[in-house]
Chain A
Amino acid sequence: MLAFGSTHDILYALTSLTAKEFKVRYRNMSLGILWSLANPIIMMSVLTFVFTFVIRNDKQYFPLFLLMGILPYNFFCLAWTTGTTSIADNAVLVKKIPFPRELIPFAGVLANALHYLIQLGLLLLAAGIVIGPSPLWIWLPVIFVLQILFVSGLSLCSAALNVYFRDTRYVVESAALVLFWLVPIFYSFAEIEQMAEGYSFLRTVLSYNPLAATILCIRKILLYGELFEWDTLVKLATASLASVTIGLTYFRRVQRDFADYL
């Protein structure tokens, strides 16, 4: 485990905080955790309708194709926004209990990762029935972990910033909105590459976008039964490790005065 310079049982503290976030979200609702499945299914239905009947497209397994974009995107956005507000939302804990505060954004991300895991499980079930399982599926956990690391790093940065500038949260929410169009959710990479002919800058930016890389990998594995290019995985891993390293470093630098601004 990461060295947090404390005598805490870090793993236990992290799982307890994550369990809190996870349980609290749907505790008082009669449908409980089913709500975390409702949103992606509704989005999938609407997009399928629009891109089948309104704008024609001839992609095979289009609803599944969409889900493979929607689920990683949804997780990314929810985890990032939850992570961003996590320190401010847990101001009481930050001000009154001495414990490693890095755990709070991590817990916010991990609680969302649990929902994501359930959604992915159902996606796998559907893909297994419609397309058929593949031994390449063993790569999915790697992608999953890298995605968590990437968004954790981002969240550590934005959570710390959000303590000093409460506007951060709205910047993040707007960024998430823009990302929906910048990430290949309802279009594919092939289409990007055609379009971006002559826009090589745009192409490079997109190829370094870890969220886009995640979606690309998941689609290759689940939809086309192909292995992703190693290049993509290396870029994704580099971005994720860089993100979490920068996030932790920045968070630790500025966390000393958190209590004064909450």
Chain B
Amino acid sequence: MAAIRLENLSKRYLIHHKRQLVAQRVWKRRQNVTEPFWALRDVSFAVKGGETVGIVGHNGAGKSTLLEIVAGTSSPTTGRVERSGKIAAMLEVGTGFHADLTGAENIHLNAALLGMSKTELQRKFDSIVEFSGIADFIDEPARTYSTGMLSRLGFAVAVHFEPEILILDEVLSVGDRAFLRQCAKEIDRLVNAGSLALVASHNLDVVAALCSRVIWLDHGRVKSDGPAGEILLGYADGGDLRNQRVLQPIKETVFGADE
């Protein structure tokens, strides 16, 4: 069963105000002027298989740092993170894609970096291309792709990996409605099969439509954690995004009714 668990997790970055050359530091004994910045403070929560959890918060609240630590590309300063299950993380649109490689070549690169085996990819290749909806451009270099197309291709590879932990950082916001609907369906399918998903976004409609639970980060701390509707209403009222519309029935307004 997929699960993640964070215990008293904190992350400190050093902000450099004045950087000195090594020569200046040794010769003139000038120190670098740095100031600690806590991107995350004492964050604890657990997510188990079957949950889709949204992460909301203002710019700089620590959403991306949190997801990077859960994904394992960044390490916590103090505290611990435990995860069980295979991870697919989309922390940015178009990562793992090289601009000069074609879509098809990029599928190979992406799948390999995710952790797919070669035979697994060969079996799923056609299905990935079909899911992405950009079959006509698959032999064009990725630099000719729009962000929407990159996001489609990245997501297509990620879900075909059948991850047990799916991490999405603001990557769905660039897709169109049809693609969002397709993504929501896949996320639901994975989660119903026992996976878990973490979705960070400023688009509260997307969060509301996908997630059953939401964690609100404020200046690196967990401000509240609970059922999606409740937290999002609180966030929309108290956050800076007053004019975000968080109304029911959201699923239909965001994704449109299933045809």
Contacts of A16 in B (CB 8 A): 108-109, 111-113
Docked-complex contact B72 and A20, CB < 8 angstroms: no
Shortest CB distance B127–A (Å) = 18
Docked-complex contact A7 and B115, CB < 8 angstroms: yes
Contacts of B105 in A (CB 8 A): 19-20, 23
30 cross-chain CB contacts under 8 A: A8-B115, A9-B112, A9-B115, A9-B118, A12-B117, A13-B113, A16-B108, A16-B109, A16-B112, A16-B113, A17-B113, A19-B109, A23-B101, A24-B101, A28-B100, A92-B96, A94-B73, A95-B68, A95-B74, A96-B91, A97-B73, A97-B89, A97-B113, A97-B114, A98-B72, A98-B89, A257-B75, A259-B73, A259-B74, A260-B13
In the complex with contacts A9-B118, A12-B118, A24-B101, A260-B74 CB distance below 8 A: yes
Cα A135 to Cα B256 with chains together (Å):
72
B11 nearest CB neighbor, chain A only: A260
- Does B116 make an interface contact (CB < 8 A)? yes
Contact flags (1/0) for A228-262 with B, using CB distance below 8 Å?
Answer: 00000000000000000000000000001101100
Query: Given known contacts A97-B89, A98-B89, what 12 new A-B pairs fall within 8 Å (CB)?
Result: A7-B86, A8-B115, A16-B109, A19-B105, A20-B105, A27-B101, A95-B91, A96-B89, A96-B92, A97-B95, A97-B114, A99-B114
Shortest CB distance B196–A (Å) = 16
From B92, B98, B112, B117, name the one whose CB has the most chain A CB atoms within 10 angstroms. B112
Docked-complex contact A17 and B115, CB < 8 angstroms: no
- Does B197 make an interface contact (CB < 8 A)? no
Docked-complex contact A93 and B89, CB < 8 angstroms: no
- Does A6 make an interface contact (CB < 8 A)? yes
A21 nearest CB neighbor, chain B only: B98
Contacts of A20 in B (CB 8 A): 98, 101, 105, 109
Cα A23 to Cα B102 with chains together (Å):
11
From B73, B96, B100, B105, name the one whose CB has the most chain A CB atoms within 10 angstroms. B73
Interface residues of B (CB under 8 A from A): 13, 68, 71-75, 86-87, 89, 91-92, 95-96, 98, 100-101, 105, 108-109, 111-118, 121
Cα A8 to Cα B13 with chains together (Å):
30
A13 nearest CB neighbor, chain B only: B112
Contacts of B98 in A (CB 8 A): 20, 24
Shortest CB distance A25–B (Å) = 9
Interface size of A by Cβ–Cβ distance < 8 Å?
27
Contacts of A97 in B (CB 8 A): 73, 89, 91, 95-96, 113-114
Cα A9 to Cα B112 with chains together (Å):
7
Contact flags (1/0) for A2-15 with B, using CB distance below 8 Å?
Answer: 00001111001101
Cα A97 to Cα B115 with chains together (Å):
10
Docked-complex contact A98 and B118, CB < 8 angstroms: no
Docked-complex contact B117 and A9, CB < 8 angstroms: yes
Shortest CB distance A160–B (Å) = 15
Contacts of A15 in B (CB 8 A): 112
Contact flags (1/0) for A88-120 with B, using CB distance below 8 Å?
Answer: 000011111111000000000000000000000
In the complex with contacts A23-B101, A95-B74, A97-B89, A6-B109 CB distance below 8 A: no
A15 nearest CB neighbor, chain B only: B112
CB contact between A93 and one of B68, B86, B100, B113 (< 8 Å): that residue: B113
Cα A256 to Cα B91 with chains together (Å):
18
Docked-complex contact A9 and B74, CB < 8 angstroms: no
Docked-complex contact A9 and B116, CB < 8 angstroms: yes
Cα A8 to Cα B110 with chains together (Å):
12
From A7, A93, A97, A99, name the one whose CB has the most chain B CB atoms within 10 angstroms. A97
